[in-house]
Amino acid sequence: MKNDQKNINTIINHLKNSGFVFQSSEIYGGLANTWDYGPLGILLINNIKKEWWKNFIIKEKNNIGIDSKILLNPNVWKASGHLSNFSDLLIENKINNKRYRADHIYEEITNKLAAELTQEELEKWIIENVKEYDNSKTDWANIKKFNLMFKTNQGVIEDKKNEIYLRPETAQGIFINFNNVQRSMRLKLPFGIGQIGKSFRNEITPGNFIFRTREFEQMELEFFVYPHQDEEFYNYYVAKSKNFLLSLGLKEESIRLRVHDKEELAHYSKGTTDIEFLFSFGWGELMGIANRTDFDLTSHNKLANEKLRYFDQEKQEWIIPYVIEPSIGVDRLLLAIIVDSYQEEQINDESRIVMQLKYELCPYKVCVLPLVKKHSESAKEIFDMLIDHDIMATYDEVGSIGKRYRRQDSIGTYWCITYDYDSINDHSVTIRHRDTMKQDRIKIEDIISYIQNNK
């Protein structure tokens, strides 16, 4: 079944019932478009982040990681352009009192890019052409620019002077630490600085489950290069990003590259490629790779007390490096992984839900099951052995063996190990593979090597 034919509500229910994602603040009626990760969700999230860190930091010998703060000096956002530019075009329908993104309405109806129009042209087009929208007649107010940054106050006094913002991207925390990181680590161009962390955007139209939320997490790499190397590393990171997504198990047919044309490019970008994913609601941006040029470092250099720059030993001169940025949201990636791996299968007369997650991503790699309760002590010894070998395992002795297998399939557990009546005599167990449901009989002492060799 193609992803856009999968029913997202069925998937959301499954995620809730099995402990992946819960509606946040549910006992108070929820908080709009806010979701909490449950015990299995956080295991999957951590595995996703681990894979990103491995691929973009550890395996790239020129890259290192940092962890900067959510709250930064407000001048950061002045320099980056977020205070003046980080806004969406909001339009209100006075009949149903709902607010929409003007560009989304235009793009949905015309299938063309709103970036090709000025704000005035867009407003005129909507007022003249969209007489009915979202099951309501329309009476449009003028388009307003709405800044997406969340504002709060630092300290005890609430006044303008203490206004501070929750970061809308993690990238700026990297730029402002350019000198610190480059000097302390004695880095030579080209090199990358990455981080994973929370970002906040007061989105006008959040929704589609965890696709667009106001609080989310990003994994961003800022890769600094000599200006003449920008094309080379832009292409490198577009290809690397696509391969990374495929390595996590996303299907070739579920992703596509979309190159921004000139009109659509962000003010800081010389070139941007989106990697889009076929979500249940259609194609949507999953990851973006942008050539941010020297925009960010140069902007900070106009406002900050210290110059962010690099001394080119060969030419004996200071230069401002260019930046290539692959950026992806953890939550969006989790959604894509779940949508692509969620399958409902019919086996003879029975149906099963199976999450065909890559071994590295599985919340539990193994579930240990005693066939009957009297085997539980021996089964628990196997569980302890797995945990001692850093293999994430769970244990289940409740219900029929068939039902227990189904439960584990539905949460993506890669192996089920069953301790049965013969195990006492032959010191062996049955190990069952999630996807093929094939079973092998193996010696207890061989369990660890079997798992390590067959994942």
Of residues 215-254, which lie at the interface with ligand ATP (CB under 6 A)?
A: 216, 218
How do strand 271-279 and strand 282-293 relate by DSSP bridges?
antiparallel
> Is residue 78 classed as helix, strand or coil in its secondary structure?
helix
8 A C-beta contact, residue 218 and residue 330: yes
DSSP string, 320-342: --EEEEEEEEHHHHHHHHHHHHE
292 is a site residue for ligand ATP (CB under 6 A): no
Closer of 197 and 329 to ligand ATP (Cβ): 329
Binding mask 39-68 for ligand ATP (x = CB under 6 A): ------------------------------
Binding mask 159-178 for ligand ATP (x = CB under 6 A): ----------x---------
331 is a site residue for ligand ATP (CB under 6 A): yes
Per-residue burial over 46-77, b = 16 or more CB atoms within 10 Å of its CB, e = otherwise = ebbeebbbebbbeebeebbbeebeeebebebb
Please give the Cα distance from 422 to 328 (Å, whole number): 49
Tokens representing 63 are 């890259």
| Segment interacting with ligand ATP (CB under 6 A) among 227-235, 238-246, 322-330, 351-359 | 322-330
CB nearest ligand ATP: which residue?
329
Tokens representing 251 are 């299907």
Closer of 249 and 319 to ligand ATP (Cβ): 249
Q: Residues with Cβ < 8 Å from 396, sequence gap 6 or more? A: 367, 368, 369, 404, 407, 408
Closer of 57 and 451 to ligand ATP (Cβ): 57
287 is a site residue for ligand ATP (CB under 6 A): yes
Please give the Cα distance from 188 to 170 (Å, whole number): 23
328 is a site residue for ligand ATP (CB under 6 A): yes
8 A C-beta contact, residue 3 and residue 254: yes
| Segment interacting with ligand ATP (CB under 6 A) among 78-86, 284-292, 347-355, 380-388 | 284-292
212 is a site residue for ligand ATP (CB under 6 A): yes
Closer of 173 and 329 to ligand ATP (Cβ): 329
Closer of 205 and 343 to ligand ATP (Cβ): 205
Contact residues: ligand ATP, CB under 6 A: 169, 201, 203, 212-213, 216, 218, 285-288, 327-329, 331-332
